[in-house]
Structure 1
């Protein structure tokens, strides 16, 4: 039995449309965990535990869930080795590596405008009467 695939129209590539395939894909990769995983994988192959250690703050469950989504979209390749104990490696595919170029650009943008954004936040919070963590007496993790 041959199954016909639904034909895609130009609206499928429109990220502004709620029902477009492009928006679904965009939503899957435009989150902090996916972007951080793509950034960490870079040109290397890593095991699950190595990724868990590299992406600070991510839970085991969230890493597994995000990797599954990236694998489903063809951005990450998962290799399972028939060994005891089991070994699973992750690496970026060609589309994943191309997306990493965009992620690198976003990281560079963040570093470039970090001071300006921080100053804008202080001005905004001061105008809105919002206390910063330091003003409110909240210690940071580092302090």
Structure 2
């Protein structure tokens, strides 16, 4: 696997891990039980994306990342601190996650455009519908929250 492909895919895995952690954390923080369930399910969907990408990297003799970066952890703490101070924190979590989900989806699309046709590009393409589904869910929630 070329170094650039490995770097790009590991970047996507790292961002996905960080967003999954944020979904899980938000699920613990929100007050609405139904929203907790939805956010937990979205975290599980991201877990499936991460596992598939890591498996494909290993299949091609790449070494996938297994955790987020320090920047992601610091950003999660900052986001938590900011959201805690807001009067409608469930809505704030939804808006934050919708924004981050859109950013991840766009990152996948950019990496797919940069990769030449091959197994990793095909793997990323297979994950797009799952990410688009998560994105639509969060967009709908954000719209309902008055985004």
Q: TM-score by structure 2 length?
A: 0.29
Greater relative contact order (Cα < 8 A, sep 6+): 2
Q: Is the strand fraction higher in 1 or 2?
A: 1
- Computing the radius of gyration over CA atoms, which structure comes out larger, 1 or 2? 1
Q: Is the helix fraction higher in 1 or 2?
A: 2
